[in-house]
Amino acid sequence: MEDAYTRSASEVLDFFAVDPIKGLTDSQVADHGRMYGQNVLPQEKSTPFWKLVVKQFDDLLVKILIVAALVSFVLALINGDTGLTAFLEPSVILMILAANAAVGVITETNAEKAIEELRAYQADVATVLRNGCFSIVPAIALVPGDIVEVSVGCKVPADMRMIELLSDQLRVDQAILTGESCSVEKEVDATSAVNAVYQDKTNILFSGTVVVAGRGRAIVTGVGSNTAMGNIRDSMLRTDDEATPLKKKLDEFGTFLAKVIAGICVLVWVVNIGHFRDPSHGGFLQGAIHYFKIAVALAVAAIPEGLPAVVTTCLALGTKRMARLNAIVRSLPSVETLGCTTVICSDKTGTLTTNMMSASKICVLRSTHHNPNSSEYTVNGTTYAPEGAIFDNDGVRLDFPSQQPCLLHIAMCSAICNESSLQYNSDKGTYEKIGESTEVALRVLAEKIGIPGFDSMPSALNMLSKHERASYCNRYWENQFKKVSALEFSRDRKMMSVLCSRKQSATMFSKGAPESIISRCTSILCNENGSVIPLTAEIRTELEAKFNSFAGKETLRCLALAVKRLPIDQHVLSFDDEKELTFIGLVGMLDPPREEVRNAILACMTAGIRVIVVTGDNKATAESLCRKIGAFDHLGDFVGHSFTASEFEELPALQKTIALQRMALFTRVEPSHKRMLVEALQNQNEVVAMTGDGVNDAPALKKADIGIAMGSGTAVAKSASDMVLADDNFATIVAAVAEGRAIYNNTKQFIRYMISSNIGEVVCIFVAAVLGIPDTLVPVQLLWVNLVTDGLPATAIGFNKQDSDVMKYKPRKVGEAVVSGWLFFRYVVIGAYVGLATVAGFIWWFVYADTGPMLSYGELVNFDTCHMRQTSYPCSIFDDRHPSTVSMTVLVVVEMFNALNNLSENQSLLAIPPWSNLWLVASIILTMLLHILILYIQPLSAMFSVTPLSWTEWKVVMYLSFPVILIDEVLKYFSRNSRGIRLKLRFWKTDLLPRREVRDK
């Protein structure tokens, strides 16, 4: 029954044909069970493990690598190789793919946990009326029409319509569903709100919420999937995980690379068809297989096998740095997504604010001799910590607040007329509340005012331990005034009172809604001299004006405090005693904005990131908070920038588009609205980060490009998110965005490094094949270069320091290619030099080396006809390991120099020297040591078909390798001074990667 909130209680009872005195009969329970189903969230079938594993290999680059590994293995067996070399290359490739698949499976398994976490919010049992008797039944057995009784501490077992209040009031904490910071009072009357959201349905108890005060009865209207919690589950199931921008670009790069690799491999094979019959191969088929092996080697050279591992490592390093910033990353790819975030949809309560109600304003009567009569004080401190000061109208700090009569009595009343408590949690290092937020705020205020009697009181309090300090002043007043009787808060009175005895006197302290307290007061306490004077109409009007200003313009939650002397022999309070009170003062409270939020939001604006505040609170309260933050002053007023969910839904399509582009505040929202906002922004090609802490936030967190949960939030929100803020602080998001941008820049650098290195390897093999010289590098050598000598420096590039101006630029576009235009040209030039230098080292040994055969170039390119003609050298020299060792060493060393080029995209090595990243220097040293190890240790040198080099050969290696730095310095110079050469050819106008739609809808 979806419209139960609009109907009267009797109408709902009639709809389900239930007697409110007897409840459902057994036959009705059975009928309703068949009709509406069980009161349980259906368990979604989880994806089988084997499907998750197979899914990780559904990638074109991965498939090419698998084929290359299998072909390499088969060809090795055909050639009769059964030793370690036959298995080394395919085994290493498959191990890398298995490691990446494991990371993917773990990530996807975590994503499914969010839906399971919802079950934790379902009640276990319920007190239900059936056949005229109350009994406790499993919550799963409830059916629509059941009459359920709830009381303090009960978890609501299903969606229910209130039919009867059994106490003065019934309050429910529904923050997990709506994000409201305070508990909500429930009523029996029907609601007339149009387009009502959960907050408007004040007669509905929602499944999973908790009763915090009172007792009542309600009729079940929705069970299982037909509850608010069920709607959240369904919304999460409908949400598909979006691929991150980097993942999309890498996928596109993989597709592009696969086509290029396939084309080059076929080209190399076709170009050499004329050589298939060369006698050296022993037949046409053997010749075809030989050149097919070269094509496979080319594929191995072209595919950056280490790229997935290096990307994963770099992102993991980023998560470590972000954890130190209190941002705990649950999904590795989300680290990079932060870098291109364009909109942050931020929850208000607990993220922009402290989620700790705090007294901020006090109004008391100064005396009737001044105009105005009232005096206003400001209280600072934004948490539950008893730390803060009180300032007068002129902004002067009060050194001894307790010396002011009204402030002293406010402290007394705040401590005595209070059911909450404040304590220090040493494990978390924070002060925590037990009870209603407004009452805890009064306790903290009493601590800030302090106690009278000592000139050194403020400093004396600071000498206490944090456990003692938490409630020292409150305990002092509780020891001074012994509670005798109390009148609890009720809806009609809107106040509570406590009778206390002290030194042969009886005093009643009262607190409540200002309109209720002021109307019951006949006198007022003066702050100037502590005298009590009659409450005149003029003073009453001034107090009411102050209250309206606090509650209206400043949107503070206000409480009025009062006192009354009673006869010493009175031991019980009655409602008649709550008359002729003496007004003490007015206290205005709010959930204060975090002090660091203003600068954090301004930093976002500088970085081109828009912040939209999203909250379940009402519009006026949210706008007031945004004004207090001070970061939205540039908007003037909020007209055209602030919308309630209902207002936004009523806009025509075109105006919705305009509203989305201007929106800064979105209020009175429920779960479906948050998800709708994320989708609408994504449709405008925005990259959206969404924050949240409640169950209600989970669908939006899952849908957003990056979902950010609060550390103090629900398990459901955390499971649905990509990142968790340990300190619940918006400023942490900004720090994480800066880190995300730095990580992307570093990721971009090592991807370019690996691409230029792989271009070099492709050029090396292709040029060797075209020239017709022997194989410069064997596949196992290429694999060593790709995995070890490429992988270590590429990983170390991830440690490049964050640029100081990283937050001064607009977010990069989602469709921005990792390598494009001028940059691609730069790295083709570098790659071409790497390849040519490698081939040059090979040719040098045969033609010019003193230790080589000193062949002519013509003899080298006709090596395959050596045994058919008379030569002055043995044909076995073409099997010598020296030339391929020189080539491999040139390739390794030139790539080490190229790694130094990637300390910065455009800055010279003179500006950013190698020691700015000591990890890179260390990785280069380690790589060279490993390379020397395989050259000079016998079992390894045989495995990699290499041999030790002489000092002359090492010098040639250095001569051929070092120029790569000079070439890139020239290219960087052009980049800095002319922002790159703008090539006019059509090929260069487009990205290296083919353009696609930003999102697949």
Each residue of 646-683: pLDDT tens digit?
899 889 989 999 999 999 999 888 777 888 999 999 99
Rounded CA gap, 633 and 262, in Å? Answer: 57
Q: What are phi and psi of 502, to 5 degrees?
A: -155, 120
Rounded CA gap, 107 and 89, in Å? Answer: 28
Amino acid at residue number 754: M
- At CA 585, angle to CA 584 and CA 589, rounded to 5? 145
- At CA 815, angle to CA 813 and CA 821, rounded to 5? 95
Cα end-to-end span (Å), the chain: 33
Alpha-carbon distances of 80 from 70, 76, 783, rounded to whole Å: 15, 6, 21
Q: Which of 272-286, 513-527, 538-552, 839-853 has the lowest mean pLDDT?
A: 272-286
pLDDT at 992 (0 to 100) = 39
Highest mean pLDDT among 383-387, 487-491, 993-997: 383-387
Highest mean pLDDT among 351-360, 396-405, 599-608, 816-825: 396-405
Q: What is the DSSP string of 238-253?
A: TPPPPPPHHHHHHHHH
Rounded CA gap, 705 and 665, in Å? Answer: 20
Q: 């691609």: which residue's tokens?
A: 824
Dihedral in degrees, nearest 10, Cα atoms 314, 319, 324, 326 = 160
pLDDT at 852 (0 to 100) = 80
Q: Please compute the mean of the pLDDT values over residues 187-191 and round it to a whole number.
A: 88
- The mean pLDDT value of the chain amounts to 80
Q: Which of 240-249, 404-413, 604-613, 869-878 has the lowest mean pLDDT?
A: 240-249
Each residue of 232-262: pLDDT tens digit?
777 666 655 555 666 666 667 667 767 777 7
Rounded CA gap, 421 and 433, in Å? Answer: 6
pLDDT at 997 (0 to 100) = 35
Top pLDDT among 360 and 120 is at 360
* Structure confidence at residue 523 as a pLDDT band (50, 70, 90): very high
Each residue of 339-348: pLDDT tens digit?
788 999 988 8
Q: What is the DSSP string of 253-320?
A: HHHHHHHHHHHHHHHHHHHTGGGTT-GGGTSHHHHHHHHHHHHHHHHHHHS-TTHHHHHHHHHHHHHH
Q: Tell me: pLDDT of 362 over 90.
A: yes
In eight-state DSSP terms, residue 922 is H
Q: Tell me: pLDDT of 171 over 60.
A: yes
Each residue of 746-760: pLDDT tens digit?
777 777 787 777 788
Alpha-carbon distances of 769 from 71, 119, 258, 535, 866, rounded to whole Å: 20, 63, 20, 103, 18
pLDDT at 101 (0 to 100) = 67
Q: Tell me: pLDDT of 837 over 60.
A: yes
Q: Are the C-beta atoms of 172 and 156 separated by less than 8 Å?
A: yes
Highest mean pLDDT among 30-44, 376-390, 424-438: 376-390
Q: Which of 48-57, 792-801, 879-888 has the lowest mean pLDDT?
A: 48-57
- Which segments within 380-494 are labelled E, that is strand? 390-391, 421-425, 430-434, 482-487
Of 436, 445, 446, 458, the residue nearest 361 (C-alpha):
445
CA 690 to chain centre: 7
pLDDT at 993 (0 to 100) = 37
pLDDT at 902 (0 to 100) = 82
Top pLDDT among 217 and 730 is at 217
Rounded CA gap, 815 and 823, in Å? Answer: 16
Highest mean pLDDT among 301-310, 489-498, 536-545, 738-747: 536-545
Amino acid at residue number 875: C
Q: Please compute the mean of the pLDDT values over residues 320-348 and round it to a whole number.
A: 79
pLDDT at 307 (0 to 100) = 64
pLDDT at 980 (0 to 100) = 40
Q: Tell me: pLDDT of 963 over 90.
A: yes
Top pLDDT among 180 and 224 is at 224
Three-state SS at 875: helix
User: Quick one: which H or E segment has residue 884?
Assistant: helix 882-901
- Cβ-proximal residues to 613 (8 Å cutoff; 6+ apart), any chain: 346, 348, 352, 622, 625, 626, 664, 665, 666
* Structure confidence at residue 281 as a pLDDT band (50, 70, 90): low
- Which segments within 444-526 are labelled E, that is strand? 482-487, 495-501, 506-512, 521-525
Q: Tell me: pLDDT of 425 over 70.
A: yes
Q: Which of 74-83, 795-804, 972-981 has the lowest mean pLDDT?
A: 74-83
Peptide bond into 372 cis (omega under 30): yes
Q: Tell me: pLDDT of 73 over 60.
A: yes
* Structure confidence at residue 531 as a pLDDT band (50, 70, 90): very high
Taking the complete model, does pTM exceed 0.75, yes or no?
Answer: no
Q: What are phi and psi of 589, to 5 degrees?
A: -125, 155
Q: Which of 161-170, 579-588, 635-644, 769-778 has the lowest mean pLDDT?
A: 769-778
Q: Tell me: pLDDT of 75 over 80.
A: no
Of 709, 629, 716, 699, the residue nearest 665 (C-alpha):
629
pLDDT at 581 (0 to 100) = 96
Top pLDDT among 875 and 37 is at 37
* Structure confidence at residue 784 as a pLDDT band (50, 70, 90): confident
pLDDT at 1000 (0 to 100) = 35
Amino acid at residue number 778: V
* Structure confidence at residue 309 as a pLDDT band (50, 70, 90): low
Each residue of 789-830: pLDDT tens digit?
777 787 788 777 766 667 777 787 766 666 666 777 887 898
Amino acid at residue number 973: Y
DSSP-assigned beta bridge partners for residue 186: 170
pLDDT at 986 (0 to 100) = 39
Rounded CA gap, 407 and 530, in Å? Answer: 10
Rounded CA gap, 310 and 318, in Å? Answer: 12
Catalytic residue among 347, 722, 790, 968: 347
Three-state SS at 23: strand
Q: Active-site residue 347, yes or no?
A: yes
SS3 content of the chain, % helix, strand, coil (to 5): 50, 15, 30
pLDDT at 598 (0 to 100) = 87
Highest mean pLDDT among 477-481, 695-699, 973-977: 477-481
* Structure confidence at residue 994 as a pLDDT band (50, 70, 90): very low
